[in-house]
Structure 1
Amino acid sequence: MIKTPSLAVALSAVAFAAPPALAAEYPPPANPGKVPAASKKGRKLVVCKRGCRYKTIRAAIKRATGRDLIVVRPGTYREGVQILGRRYDGLRIVGDPKNPRRVRLDGKGVRGAGGQNAFFVNAADGVTIRGFYARNYKANCFFVVNADGYTLDRLVAERCGVYGIYAFNSKGGTMSNSEAYYNNDSGFYIGQTPPQKGRKKRSFVTNVKSYLNVLGFSGTNMRYVTIRRSQFFNNGVGIVPNALRTEKYPPPEENVIADNDVFWNNFNYYRGAPFKIPTSGPAGLSAYPIGIGILLFGSQGTIVENNRIFGNWLVGFGMVQQFELAGDSDPKLREAATLRNNVVRNNRFGLDGKDLNGRDLAYDGSGTGNCFQGNVLTSPVPYLGSQATYAPCPGPSENAIDPTVLGEAAQWIAAQNPKKPETFEQFWLRHPHAPRKGVKPVERYRR
C-alpha cells in the first residue's frame, strides 16, 4: 500500500473546507398520470408560437409517449420541460439541428421548478434532445438523470446556474456537436456512473466546445466515458475527472480522453465573470488551481492520448492522488483516492513550441501502474519534479512518490484567495499565445 505523505493531509484541509456543490439527492420519477394511446409508429407533435395545436413544449410532452416525435418550431419558449418516467422511453424532441439558436428556451423570469432546468429527463431511457439553445436557468440547461441511454446533440448551453449539459447516474449516452459557455461550474458534466459488469455501455462526448466556464468538463466518479475530437479552452481548468465522496461510485474509472484540443485554460473568473461565482464547489473552494489543461484528481484505468495541449499557464497535464480521501478511515475511499493504471501517451504539448504551457506535466508519483510514453514536450519546464517519476509504459507495479510535487501543489492551493484574484496567477509561467482563427485568449472577462 502506498503511504500518504503528511503533506496530503495539509492539502486536504486547504482545498476542502466545505462540501462541493450539488451534493443533493435527486427526486424519484413522478407519476405521469394517464398515458395517452399511441400508434405503433408513433405520432409527430408540432409546437410553435402560432398556428399549431401545441403552443408550449410542456403541452406536447403531456400528450406524448416514447414512440412520438416532438418538433419545436423557431421561437423563444419561457418554460422548463420535464420528461419523467418510463412512459417517455425513446422520445425524440427536435428543434433546429442546423441552427439551434433559433429554438430558444430562456429561464429568465420563470418561477418554480420550470426555472431550474431547460430540459430535465428523469428515469426515461433513450430520450433524444436535438437542436436547442438554453440559457438563464437556475440549475442546469440540459439535465439527464437515472437513464439507460440518452442523446444530447446540437445543443447550446449558456449561463446556467451550475452545469450546461449534464448526465448523472446514467450510462450509455451521447453528448455531441454542442457548445457550453458562461456556466458557473462546468460546461459539460458526466457524474456518478453506476459500475457495470461484462461488456460496458460507454458514453461518448464528441465534437463539443466548452469555454468561459469554471471547468470545461467535470467528471465526478464517471466511468466508461470517451471524450474525443472536442475543444476545451478559456476555462479555469479544461478537463477534470475527479473522485469525491459526495457522489456514489468513486473513483472515475476506465475513461478515455483522446484527440482533443485543450488550450488557454487560464480564465481567472475571480477577476470578473459572466456568471455569479458559487460559494461552494470547485470555484468557491478553489480546489482546482486555475491554469490547468487536464487534471486527473484520483483516477484509475484512464487513457489520455493524442491530445493537443497548449497555452495553459500553470500545467498542461496533471495527475495527483485524491488527497482528501487518501487519509479516510474507509478503505474503499482510500482505494478510490489512488491513481492506478493510468496511461498518458502520444500527446503533443506546446503547439510545436509556438504556444507553451507553463509546465507540461505534473504528477505526484503516487499509485501503481501509471505511465507516460511518446509525449512531445516543449515547455522550458517539461516536468514538475523529477523526470524519473514519469515512468515509461507499461507502468511499474508501484510508482515512486515525489513529495516535491505535492509540496509545490500545496503552495498553489494555500496561496489562493478569492478576495485577492491576483493570487490565482502568481505561479503561472506565461508565454505568448499563437494566433488561432475565430478564438481569442481570455484570462479576464470583460463585457
Structure 2
Amino acid sequence: MRKRHITRLVSIAAASAAGLGAAAPAVPAAAAAGHVVAPGQSIQAAVDAARPGDTIVVRPGTYRESVVITKPGLTLRGYGDRTVITPPAAGRAGQDNACAGAGNGICVLGTAQGTVDGVSVRSLRVTGFARSGVWASWTDRLDVRAVTADANGVWGIAEQRSTRSDIRDSTARSNGDAGIFVANSVDEEGGATDTGGTRVRGNTLTDNRIGFTARRVRNLSVRDNTFTANCSGVFVVGDEGTPQAGAMSLRSNRIIGNNKFCAATDRLPAIQGSGIVLTGAESTEVRSNEIRDNVGETPLSGGVVLFKSFVGAKNTDNTVSGNVVLGNRPADLADRDTGTGNRFTGNVCTTSAPAGMC
C-alpha cells in the first residue's frame, strides 16, 4: 500500500512538472491546478476562472491591465517587483472593467449588501495608474503584503468602507496624494467609521504628498513604518461628524525628513516639514516614535502638530508620550489647537509651541 502511494505521488509530481515546465519555480497547489498567469496572458481571465479561496500566481513580466476581484478568499500573488501591473496602452483591451474605468490598477470590491472577505494581494508592483495602485471598497480582512505601489496619480494603496485590513511590508512611493489611505468614504460626508482594528505596519512610505492618511476612521494601528521625503509623514483627518475620528495608535514609527513641499488646496494650507499631524481627532495615542528633522515654514510644519480641522473640529483627549522628537522646525511639538484634554508627556524634545511641553 505504501509503495503504491509513493508511486502515485511521483506520477503526480511528474505530470505537474510537465505541465508547468521543468525550470518553473514551485507554486501553490491551487496554482498548479491551472491558476498560473504568464506574460501575454490575462490576470483578469484567471481571476474570473478561479473559485473562492483559490490562489493565482502571476509570473514575472509586465501586465498591461486592471484587475477586479469580487470573490472571497482569493489570493493574487506575484514575484515581487518582477511582476508589474501597469495601465494598458490607449485604445487597447483591458480597459473595459470598473477598475480600469476608475483609473485603478487592482480593485477589491464588495458592496453595501455584502463585503468581499479574506482577499490577499501579495508580492507585486502596481504602477502608473491615474488614480490608485490598489483600491478596496466594502472589504473585510483584506491582506495587502509586500506590494510596491508607485507613481500612481492619487493613492498608492487605498481603501474605504472596509474593516480588519492588514496592510504590511509594502512600499508606496511617488504617488500623487497618500502612499496609504484609509477612509470611511471618499465621496460622502459622515461620522468616522470603526475599522475593527485595521493594521498598517512595516511599510516604507516615501516621496508621496502624505505618507499615510487616516480620514474619518477609528480603531486602527499604525506601527513600525518608515516615513521619509513626503510633505507630511502621517495625517489624521477628522471633522465635526459623530463619532469623531481617532481612537487609534501611532506607535514605533520612524518619521524622518518629510520636507517635500506641497502647495495649498481648497481645504488645507501648504504642507511641508510635517511629521505627524492630528486634525479633529480624539483619544489617539502617539507613542514611542522617532520623529526627526521635519522642517518647514507652513502652519502644519513641525514634529507632532495638533491643528484644528478645515471645518474647525478640535482635537481632544489625545496623548503624545515617550517619543524622540528632535531637529524639527519650527517646533518639535506644536499644539496649534484649542481643544481640551490633550497631553504631552515624557517626550525627548528641545522645542515646543507653546513653550513648556518638552
TM-score scaled by length of structure 1: 0.64
CA distance in 2, matches of 1:70, 1:286: 42
Q: Give the structure 1 partner of residue 176 of structure 2.
A: 184
CA drift of 1:214 comes to 0.8
- Kept after mapping to 2: 8 A contact 1:44/1:69: no
Q: Give the structure 1 partner of residue 44 of structure 2.
A: 58
CA distance in 2, matches of 1:224, 1:207: 18
Shift of the 144–257 alpha-carbon distance from structure 1 to 2, 3 Å rule, reads same
Q: Give the structure 2 partner of residue 169 of structure 1.
A: 161
* 1:297 aligned residue (267, 279, 291): 279
Q: Give the structure 1 partner of residue 259 of structure 2.
A: 266
CA RMSD of aligned residues (A): 2.3
**Aligned with 2:124: secondary structure?**
strand
CA distance in 1, matches of 2:355, 2:278: 19
What amino acid sits opposite 1:134 in the alignment?
V
1:306 aligns with 2:292: no
* 2:352 aligned residue (380, 383, 393): 383
Shift of the 357–308 alpha-carbon distance from structure 1 to 2, 3 Å rule, reads farther
* 1:149 aligned residue (127, 141, 150): 141
What amino acid sits opposite 1:303 in the alignment?
E
CA distance in 1, matches of 2:306, 2:269: 14
CA distance in 2, matches of 1:249, 1:125: 27
- Kept after mapping to 1: 8 A contact 2:292/2:303: yes
Deviations 1:221-280 (A, max 9, x none): 1211111111111011110010257xx86632211110011011111256xxxxxxxxxx
Deviations 1:290-342 (A, max 9, x none): 111110011011000000001111311101222x323xxxxxxxxxx232211
- Kept after mapping to 2: 8 A contact 1:299/1:339: yes
1:213 aligns with 2:196: no
CA distance in 2, matches of 1:243, 1:311: 26
Shift of the 240–269 alpha-carbon distance from structure 1 to 2, 3 Å rule, reads closer
Q: Give the structure 2 partner of residue 94 of structure 1.
A: 77
Shift of the 122–375 alpha-carbon distance from structure 1 to 2, 3 Å rule, reads same
What amino acid sits opposite 1:105 in the alignment?
I
Q: Give the structure 1 partner of residue 315 of structure 2.
A: 339
Q: Which runs of 5+ in 1 are unaligned?
A: 1-40, 271-281, 327-336, 393-447
CA distance in 1, matches of 2:210, 2:203: 14
* 1:67 aligned residue (44, 49, 53): 53
- Kept after mapping to 2: 8 A contact 1:242/1:296: yes
What amino acid sits opposite 2:148 in the alignment?
V
**Aligned with 1:368: secondary structure?**
coil
**Aligned with 1:318: secondary structure?**
strand
CA drift of 1:129 comes to 0.2
* 2:128 aligned residue (107, 130, 136): 136
CA drift of 1:44 comes to 5.5
Q: Give the structure 1 partner of residue 39 of structure 2.
A: 49
Aligned-residue identity in percent? 27
CA distance in 2, matches of 1:110, 1:103: 21
In terms of fraction of residues, the more strand-rich structure is 2
Deviations 1:40-64 (A, max 9, x none): x8955111126xxxx1110001111
CA drift of 1:119 comes to 0.4
CA distance in 2, matches of 1:269, 1:309: 20
TM-score scaled by length of structure 2: 0.79
In terms of fraction of residues, the more helix-rich structure is 1
Q: Give the structure 1 partner of residue 234 of structure 2.
A: 239
Q: Give the structure 1 partner of residue 334 of structure 2.
A: 362
CA drift of 1:173 comes to 0.3
Shift of the 286–254 alpha-carbon distance from structure 1 to 2, 3 Å rule, reads closer
Shift of the 206–110 alpha-carbon distance from structure 1 to 2, 3 Å rule, reads farther
Deviations 1:177-235 (A, max 9, x none): 11011111111111118645xxx720111111111111111111121111111111101
**Aligned with 1:202: secondary structure?**
strand
- Kept after mapping to 2: 8 A contact 1:243/1:250: no
* Alignment length (residue pairs): 305
Q: Which runs of 5+ in 2 are unaligned?
A: 1-29, 111-115, 186-191, 297-301
- Kept after mapping to 2: 8 A contact 1:192/1:249: no
Q: Give the structure 1 partner of residue 85 of structure 2.
A: 105
Q: Give the structure 2 partner of residue 319 of structure 1.
A: 306
CA distance in 2, matches of 1:267, 1:283: 15
